[in-house]
Every structure is written in C-alpha cells, then in structure tokens.
Chains A and B, each alone.
Chain A
Amino acid sequence: MKRFLKPINVRELLRPLGQMIYFSLGSTVVLSTIVLVLALILDKTVVGAALYERMNVSLFTYTLTNLPQVTLDGLTIGFVYAAIALGYTMVYGVLEFINFAHSEIFATGAFVGVEILIALEKYGVLSHASLAMAYVYLILAIIAGMIAAGGLAVAVERVAYRPLRNASRLVPLISAIGVSFFLQDTIRLTESLTTGQFNRIIPSFGNFDHWVIFSRMTLGTAHLTIGMSVKSIIVIVSAVLMLIGLNYMVNATKVGKAIRAVAQDHPTASLMGIDVNRVISLTFLVGGMLGGAAGVLYALKFTRIDPFVGFFPGLKAFTAAVLGGIGNMTGALLGGIVLGMLETYAGAFMGVFTMGAAGTEYKDIFAFGILILVLIFRPQGLMGTNVAQKA
C-alpha cells in the first residue's frame, strides 16, 4: 500500500513550470530589448527612411507594434522545438549518440495523427462534433501519434542501433542517418500507396482556428491587437503539460532514477540491478512519444505536412538541444524556447532591418549560424557542464 500512497512531489511539478516561465520571460526581455535598440539605431538611417516611405510608419513603431505577436509565435514554435529537443537530449544522455532518425519519428507521429483526423473527417464525425468532442478527437490523435512514434523509436533502436552499441562513435550515427532517409521514403511510399498523395493537410474542425484577443490598444497612429489562435494555445499548453510530466518522471520516480543512473554509467547501473537495455528502450519510447506528440502539434499549427516535414524541425531541435547543453533536460527546454524565439524574431525583423536583402528565406539556416557560434564559443551549451570526452 505504501507504494501507492507515496506523496506527490509537488516541488518537481512546480519547478519546470517556474523554469519555463522564467526562460520565456527572460528570452522575451533580452531579445525584444536587442530588437528595439537595433530599431532605434536603424530608425535614423536609410533603413528607417525606406520603411517610412513604403509604409508610412517609423521603424521603431513598426517594431514595437509587431513585437508582442512575434513573441507569442516564437513561444509557440519554441515549445514544439523543446518537446523534440528533449527526445534528442534524452537519447544523448543515455547513449552519447545523436539519434538522427528522431526527425522522422516526429514526422511519423504527425502523419499518424493527421491520418486519423482525416479518416474521422471522412466519416463525417468531425464536422458534427461538439466542441468538447473536437478536443477529445484531437487528444485521441495526439495519443495515437505518440504511440506510433514511441513504438517506432523503440523498434529503430532495437534493429539499427543496438547491434552497433560497441562500435566506434560514427558507426551508429551513420546507421541513424540511413534510418532517417529510409523512414522518409517509407512514409512517402505508404502514403502514396494508400492515399495517392503525400502532402497531407490536417482537417479544420473545432475552434482551433479561432483567435483569442488578449488586448487592443492604440499606440499613436497604430492600432495594436495582441492575440493568439486557439491552436497556438493548445500547442503551448500540451507542450507544457508533457514537459512537466517528463520532468516528473525523470526526477521523481524510480524509473527516472534508473534512466539517470544509466546515463551516468552503464556498467555500474547494471551492477545495481538495472536492466540497461530496458532502460535504453524506455528512453527511446519516452523520447519518441514526445516527438510524436510534437509532430501532431506541429501539424495542427502549420496544417500541411509531407514526408520530409521532420528534417528542419529535427535539425533545429537538435540545435536547441546543443544550445541548451546536450544531455541536459532543462537545457533542452531553454534551448528550444530561445531558438524558437530567435528564429521567429529573425524571420520577422531581418527583412525590414536589411531592407529586404535578407529576409524570412534565411530563417531556416539561421539556426545553423547559432549552432556554429555555440559550438565555437560555448561547446558545452548554455546550461551544460564541461564533460571530458569519453574515449
């Protein structure tokens, strides 16, 4: 009985929540200060003049009015990155290996979720669903995506990584790249055989496309509306819930203790009676489930998915994991939020600041610039400790 009556560790529930709020606010403050200072400086130059001529608004006002919306968008995508980054970081923690196929596990989750919703819509269930049922269906899709992605992650580990565990570092990485490519085309093959097309669009149902307006204000001549679509709120809320759950699992349960033990030292962990292989499978399962859920959320937010949808989010999430300090879960959270914000800020303001020479199209490679900078100047990441290389 004692086992079941174990008190819930409230501290471990609240700690990640506090961290998330802290990280979000911190990165918002830092980034918006930078952007506003830049805007003030550039306002008096030719850049500001060009914008004034085009849109009859000063650069500073333009930046200020766009800032809240951009911040909210950045947070949304940041939480998605954080959820994917946790998959990378957990696997890296226990195996010291980059699970390159994680981006396809994410894509699989997205496809399974979206296909279920499409099927539901085909049978007319979605269009007649009440609001509450719409949420139930969405949760169903997310759970299905999680199960599929988690199962796939475990299977991939069993087939393609476990036989290579004692090989040199690059061997499992190459295998992982192979798995990633193989899975991309497998998704494409399945989709084109079953549905005849591989670009899928999530059906619109429920109130997910509605906007929730937080506030309206007038700022000089500009009208400022701050709002968020319902789906963005769903993305953030579900990501927060999952991250809290994961944190609780890893830091406050026996299973989590086993995972942390394996991450520190395989032989010693197995001497303590931990089944290392099972823990590694479990890590892949949990990481894959998070990735799968992130996939469905991503599809909800961006509506269109294709078999290669995982590539860029995967790479960015990896960047986020490195940025925060790979192997460190809090770091992955921080990295995800910071990267999502940075990228959205860059996408929104770079075009204006450079007079259209470099705009949103460079958003995707922006992450790589950050990755390279982090690796040069702080290879252990923002929160990581400097670990000596294991031979």
Chain B
Amino acid sequence: MVTSFSQNILKRLDQGICPYILVLFHMTMGSLLVYLYPRSNLAFLVLITSFFSLYYFNTHRLFKLATGVILTLLIFPVVGVRNIFYLEVIFQISVFSALALGLNIVVGFAGLLDLGYVAFYAVGAYLWAFFGSQQYYILHYAPGTQPSGLPFLLPGDAFYLFIFVAILIAALTGILLGTPVLRLRGDYLAIVTLGFGEVIRVLANNLDKPLNFTNGPQGITPIQRPTMPHFAVDSFNALFSNIVGHRVSAADMYNVMFYFFALIVIVVIVFVTRRLDDSKIGRAWTAIREDETAAIAMGVPLVKMKLAAFAVGASFAGAMGVLLAGSRTFISPESFSFMQSIGVLSMVILGGSGSIPGVILGAATVTILNLQVLQGLSLYLSQLRQSDAVIPIIHFAWANLSTQLDPAKYQRMLFGLILVLMMIFRPAGLIPSKRRKRELSSEANVIEE
C-alpha cells in the first residue's frame, strides 16, 4: 500500500515540467549549500548526487546534456578550487570512473574477469614517468645516489603525445599478455591476470638494477607536468575569482586541467563503449560472455574478440596512467597493488557490470566512501582518542583505543563487503545494464506465467 502510494507520487513527479524543476532545484541547492558551507561534506554530497537525479528523472535529452555539461565543466571546477579537497575527490572520481569504465569493457561486456587491471595503468604511468623525468640520465646510478641538477628527458609538451603512445603500448601489452592466456577458462584467466598484475608490481619494485629504470620502491619523482596554456589561469581568475573568493594559483589550475583531461577520457570511453556495444564486436562479446561454446559454434572468432576486449580495456588504463603520472608528479609501485585492481573491480560490480551509468555511479560511490566516509571516521576516531570520552556500559576509554585502528586503512573490508553483498543480493549491480534488465524481466515473466 505504502509502496504503491510512493510509486504513484514518484510517477506524478516524473511527468511534465516537474522533473525539470526537481533537477534544477537539486542542482542549485547543492551549489548553494557548497557555496555557503565550503567545508561541509554533506553539502558536497548533495551537489554530487544531483547527477543522480539528472540521470533518474525523465527529462529531454538536450536538457540532460546541457545540465550535465554545466555541472561538470562549470560548477565542479569552481567548487573545486574553492575547497581544494573537493577537487581532489572529483578528480579521483573521474580517474576511477575512467578506469572502471575501461575494466567494464573487459569484465562487463566480454565477461573476462581481469584481476590485474592496474598493471596496464602502471604501464602507462611508468611510461610517462620514465620519459617525462630525469630517470634516463640516472640509469647507471643506484636509487638515491644520483647527482642533482639533471635535465628532464622530454619537455612537458610531449605529455600530450604520450597519452597516445601509452594507449598503443598498453594495448600491445594487453595483446602480448592475452595471446597466451585468453584461451583459458574464466577462473584460470582471473588468476593469471592477477599474477600478471603482481609481476608488473614486482618488476617496478626491482628494476632499479642492473639498470635503474624504475628507481625501485622509492618511485620516480619529479615527473614533468604538461605545459598549460598561459591564458588558462588568467582567464579563469578573471571569470571566477569573485565567486571563488581568492585568486587561483597555477598549481590549483593544474588540478582543474587534469580533471578536464580525465573527463575527456571518460567521454571518449563512453563514446567508444557505446559504439562498440552496438557493433558486431559488441554482440560477439555478449555472445562470449553468455556462452563461450555456443559463441564458437556460431562462428565468433573467440580469441580475436577476447583480445580486442583486452586491448581496448588496457589502452584506456594506459592513458589514465599517463594522466596519473603527470598529475601526481610522483609514482611508486605502491599505487599499483592488487588492492587497487580489486577496488576498480568492486566499482564495476557495485554499479552493475556492463552498464555505463552504473559503473560511473559505482566509481563515485566507492571513491566517496573511501575518501570521505572512511577518512571522516578516522578523523572522528582520532578526535575521540584525544578526548577523555568513555564508552558507556563497558567503561572503555577511547584514549586506550589502539592507534592501529584507522578506518581509512580498511579499504579491503569495504571492497570485500561490496563484492560479497552485491554477488549475493544484487549480482546485476545498482543500475543493471539494459540487456541484463531485459533478461531479468523476461525471466520474471516466465515465472509468472
């Protein structure tokens, strides 16, 4: 009764001009709240979730597009430079969205479980890290012993070229890895990709001898940033310094720029994914995912199609790797652990494998949980530890709580819970892909009949 009533209301709200008002209201509320309370996480969440209402409510496509563009290109950067922490969150969301979308091609479309996805990310990152830093000149020095004042190997302009180089190299790596192992069944493939991910990480850790390629566990730094057009900072300041409240430095502007780059990659991935999904290749992938044997019987070139999925997924990760190296100016093997691979996987699974909006939602949710909720909890706990508060009933002083208990470090628990719960209760994800939806509804019809 209650559910039908609320469904009725929702339906009413989703007709005519109502959805437009709701979306705009949500958006302006979010922006206003963030403007008034620049430090409040809650306000930021209201703003971020306006994307969700934009996706959910039934509005004209052009309106959706325009609002989305305004949100991503105008409001987020301005909000971001006002509070630099938000910019970091937004940037991370977009980086992980791009990675998750790339993995989605492999896992969601072709049904190949890739547990070493960050290996390709690492390939891209180390590619630019090597060529965009002084590493070439210290090939013969052990880590930490190089002379100072060395030049950079390539100028910052080369960054833009290297995004494309990384796409090629990462795709090649994917093909090289895939050729021998893609004949394997799903679960074996998962373990082999996991192994490959570890191999890349161990190589990055140890290739500081005999020639110092990666600088070992210390990682490579500094890495060149790409050159930024001169007018960028000035024009941004001229337009927005009133709203932001202070003049934006070049360093902040770099973060905005990398956020835009990540957005561009996302747009490209979404475009490519959608076109591929509707093409012959996409149908071949679906066939492979649903039933390999039947796909072979129908004449789908199995290994070729799997390789294509692997290469496309890997190439996007490679591009994001270059972006990471450029934006952080520092990379180390730490960033490419198995946990990162599983993190990206849990984003895909949470959102719904094979569903583009789902995967973006998954990436945003996991990143926010990771960066805001877990870290917020950590902060709260450390405050409690410093106070002399006591847990009632059991008389346990917070101050005695172990300092090892730092929720921000419990990402594995988060990822693990997401994976298990989603698999048991909602295997198709929060926003199931359209094809899955059709399958599920047809199954339901069969049962009802």
**Is A174 a contact of B413 with CB atoms below 8 Å?**
no
A365 and B199 contact, Cβ closer than 8 Å, known pairs A98-B191, A375-B188? yes
Asked if A181 contacts B349 (CB within 8 A), the reply is no
User: Is the CB–CB distance between B419 and A177 below 8 Å?
Assistant: yes
- Which bracket fits the contact residues of A? 35 or more
Q: Please determine whether B181 and A375 come into contact, CB atoms closer than 8 angstroms.
A: yes
Tell me which residues across on chain B come within 8 A of A311, comparing CB atoms.
338
Interface: B185 (CB within 8 A)? yes
CB neighbors of B among A355-391 (8 A): 356-358, 361-362, 364-365, 367-369, 371-372, 375-376, 379, 389, 391
Residue B156 interfacial (CB < 8 Å): no
Q: What 0/1 pattern do residues 58 to 88 of B give for CB contact below 8 A with A?
A: 0000000000000000000000000000000
Binds B, one of A116-124, A143-151, A164-172, A250-258: A164-172
A193 to chain B: which residues have CB within 8 Å?
402, 405
Q: Which of A189, A315, A358 contacts B410 (CB 8 A)?
A: A189
Contact with A362, one of B202, B210, B427 (Cβ below 8 angstroms):
B202
**Contact status B293-A391, CB under 8 Å:** yes
Residue A179 at the B interface, CB < 8 A? yes
A residues 330-373 touching B (CB-CB < 8 Å): 356-358, 361-362, 364-365, 367-369, 371-372
Give every chain B residue within 8 A of A23 (Cβ-Cβ): none
Q: Report A169-187 CB contacts with B as 1/0, cut-off 8 Å.
A: 1111111011111111110
Interface bracket on B: 35 or more
CB neighbours (8 Å) of A167 from chain B are: 423, 427
Closest to B201 in A: A365
Docked Cα-Cα span, A181 to B180, in Å, equals 28
In whole Å, how far is B294's beta carbon from the nearest beta carbon of chain A?
9
Q: What per-residue 1/0 map shows which CB atoms of A23-59 lie under 8 Å from chain B?
A: 0000000000000000000000000000000000000
Please state if B402 and A169 are interface contacts (CB–CB under 8 Å).
no
Per the bound structure, the CA–CA distance linking A193 and B198 in Å amounts to: 30
Q: In chain A, what residue has the closest Cβ to B343? A: A181
Residues of A within 8 A of B345 (CB): 174, 177
Contacting A at CB under 8 A, from B81-132, are: 111, 113, 115
B319-340 residues with Cβ-Cβ distance < 8 A to A are 338-339
Task: Kindly state whether residue A7 has any CB partner on chain B within 8 Å.
Answer: no
Q: Give the secondary structure class of A's interface.
A: helix
Of A164, A179, A198, A365, the residue contacting B202 (CB under 8 A) is A365
Q: Is the CB of B416 within 8 A of A170?
A: no
Point out the residues of chain A lying under 8 angstroms from B191, CB to CB: 98, 315, 318, 322, 371
Residues 129 to 165 of chain B near chain A (Cβ within 8 Å): none
Known: A175-B423, A192-B404. A181 touches B415 (CB 8 A): yes
A175 touches B404 (CB 8 A): no
Q: Please encode chain B, from 196 to 211, with 1 for each CB lying within 8 Å of some chain A CB and 0 for all others.
A: 1011001101100110
- Contact status B184-A375, CB under 8 Å: yes
Question: B413-441, CB under 8 A of A: which get 1 and which 0?
Answer: 10111111101100100000000000000
Given A189-B405, A189-B413, A367-B195, 20 extra CB contacts under 8 A: A160-B420, A170-B113, A170-B186, A170-B190, A173-B186, A174-B419, A175-B423, A175-B424, A178-B417, A178-B418, A178-B420, A180-B416, A189-B410, A197-B402, A356-B209, A362-B202, A364-B198, A365-B202, A369-B199, A389-B293
